[in-house]
Amino acid sequence: MSSKLYSGPIHYEWIQCEYEKSSKTVYLKGRLGEISMSLGQYYKDHGPNWIEVNNLPNYLKTRLKQMDQGLTIGYTRELFLTGVFHKVQQEGKKLTFHLGYSHPIYYELPDHVEFRTRKKGSERSFMLLSIDNELVSQVAAQIYHLKKPEPYKGTGFRYKHQILSKKIGKKK
């Protein structure tokens, strides 16, 4: 049974679709950038900016929808860093984290991921922006795991809408 959301060919008005038959790859170009994805045997040609999705597996349909949204709007992940003397510095595509360890931690940002930071009181807030949802989520998760929120003080990284439940310390 086919989903009504994905029945029939999709027409992309805001992005350009190109298909290379030799590698069976779809190239999508939008105002924010360019993404490619291999469709393999599932592609049917309906002219420029049309993709037939009746025979696509659900994961490819969802990926095409995410690529469309990424090329028109983009994806963001916002993280907060709390803690005394914890800070993030950016030098080009290289991030330097001072997280209370004896040494700084260096992280190289992949292509197509942009880093923006702003200060808010004692918390440090920064955003990761990208046209690829999987990539920006993976980078945010890797940064989050550098220092997970500590359960007693609450220091470390946390996502924008994450609610932390702190543990009660030692009672006297």
pLDDT at 116: 86
pLDDT at 53: 57
> What distance in Å separates the CA atoms of residue 123 and residue 127, rounded to the nearest whole number?
13
Q: How confident is the model at residue 125 (pLDDT cuts 50, 70, 90)?
A: confident
pLDDT at 121: 43
Q: Where are the domains of the chain?
A: 9-72, 75-159
> What distance in Å separates the CA atoms of residue 145 and residue 147, rounded to the nearest whole number?
5
The terminus-to-terminus CA distance of the chain in angstroms comes to: 64
The reply to whether domains 9-72 and 75-159 share a CATH topology is: yes
Q: Per residue in 142-163, pLDDT tens?
A: 999 999 999 898 889 999 888 8
> What distance in Å separates the CA atoms of residue 43 and residue 25, rounded to the nearest whole number?
9
pLDDT at residue 33 is higher than 90: no
Residues sharing a CB contact under 8 Å with residue 41, sequence separation 6 or more, in sequence order: 24
Q: Give the number of C-alpha atoms closer than 13 A to the C-alpha of residue 24, restricted to the C-beta side.
A: 7
The answer, as to whether pTM is greater than 0.85, is no
Q: Which fold has domain 75-159?
A: Outer Surface Protein A; domain 3 (3.90.930)
Residue 121 exposed, middle or buried by CB count within 10 Å (0-12, 13-18, 19+): exposed
State the helix-helix crossing angle for 133-144 and 58-72, rounded to 10 degrees. 90
Q: Per residue in 80-117, pLDDT tens?
A: 888 888 888 888 999 999 998 999 999 999 998 999 87
Token pair 């009672």 is at which residue? 171
Q: Which fold has domain 9-72?
A: Outer Surface Protein A; domain 3 (3.90.930)
57 contacts 41 by C-beta, under 8 angstroms: no
Q: How confident is the model at residue 122 (pLDDT cuts 50, 70, 90)?
A: very low
